[in-house]
Amino acid sequence: MEVMGFLHGIFERLKQFLECSRSIGTDNVCRDRLEKTIILFTKVLLDFLDQHPISFTPLIQRSLEFSVSYVFTEVGEGVTFERFIVQCMNLIKMIVKNYAYKPSKNFEDSSPETIEAHKIKMAFFTYPTLTEICRRLVSHYFLLTEEELTMWEEDPEGFTVEETGGDSWKYSLRPCTEVLFIDIFHEYNQTLTPVLLEMMQTLQGPTNVEDMNALLIKDAVYNAVGLAAFELFDSVDFDQWFKNQLLPELQVSHNRQVNTYFTFLIFEIKNKYY
């Protein structure tokens, strides 16, 4: 009980620290210490979940509510920072993918603890929640930054290795968001497939090459389609999509940075569907 009391108390402490950060500028010496303290507290939750998933069950609901609210709603605006977002996404990912929370195919063979954890997950991940997470991942977190475009242009191979190599998803925002998307889409593909297909549909046809934001959104959706290739295989007529949408994209002269990345991304998608 004392351990659970301490762990539940972490969420209140984190909220206090995050609110405190509003009044501490990024150039303040205390800011770095505050962020390190916040990360230390989130690490306690992640380590406990990793080592004792069944004992973590009473914390599943609160962990998901806390993480999703700060990462995918306006609650986190002005207080979150990259490393904290990564930690929250990892917390969500570890809960979604945790085998201790997955019932057996024969439901009756599952332990009561597993069934309880599974029910908590199912109750939390409603259609509106899943839809919002999916849309925010794609339309917000998948958008390439100016720094990433520059990095891609200067060293494409290095950029690709850095974003996809090893355990980079544990520490870096872009690979973290992509791994979370893959895991959530795999777990809830029946719910999320129509959502992603709708996003694809809205992007049919040419995009104004002067509208950088529209180009980046299209790139983000294409990236999502590539990541979800396995789940979408029976839902997307790739031959038609490639012929009618992707191939014409290659013939359009975009911003030079976007154009080279588009080309790379389209052929990555092509390789996954063939």
Contact 218, 253 (CB under 8 A): no
> 8-12, 62-66, 163-167 — which is least confidently predicted?
163-167
End-to-end CA distance of the chain: 54
The whole-chain average pLDDT of the chain stands at: 88
Q: Above pLDDT 70, what percent of the chain?
A: 87
pLDDT digit string (tens) for 187-197? Answer: 999 999 999 99
The C-alpha torsion from 118 through 121 and 123 to 124, rounded to 10°, is 180
Answer for the pair 200, 155: CB distance below 8 angstroms, yes or no: no
* Confidence at residue 144, expressed as pLDDT on a 0 to 100 scale: 86
Question: Which of 195, 262, 263 is CA-nearest to residue 228?
Answer: 195
More confident residue, 174 or 168: 174
Backbone angles phi, psi at 98, to 5 degrees: -65, 120
Among 195, 198, 261, 185, CA closest to 229 = 185
Per-residue pLDDT of 23-57, as tens digits, reads 887 788 889 999 999 999 999 999 999 999 999 99
Sign of the CA dihedral with 238 first, then 243, 244, and 248 last:
positive
What pLDDT shows up at residue 113? 94
Kindly state the average pLDDT of the residues 218-244.
87
Q: Which residue has the higher pLDDT, 230 or 107?
A: 230
Sign of CA dihedral 38, 44, 49, 55: negative
> What pLDDT, on the 0 to 100 scale, is given for residue 107?
78
Residue 18 token pair: 């995050």
Confidence class for position 258, pLDDT limits 50, 70, 90: low
Model confidence at 262, pLDDT cuts 50, 70, 90, reads low
| pLDDT at 256 > cutoff 70 | no
Pair 41, 13: CB distance under 8 Å = yes
pTM for this predicted structure = 0.90
Q: DSSP character for 171?
A: T
In degrees, rounded to 5, the angle at the alpha carbon of residue 60 between the alpha carbons of residues 131 and 121 is 45
- CB-based contact 195:134 (threshold 8 Å): yes
Cβ–Cβ < 8 Å for 42, 87: yes
Mean pLDDT of 145-154: 80
Q: Whole-angstrom Cα distance, residue 43 to residue 36?
A: 10
Q: What average pLDDT does this structure show over 154-174?
A: 74
Alpha-carbon gap, residue 157 to 151, rounded angstroms = 10
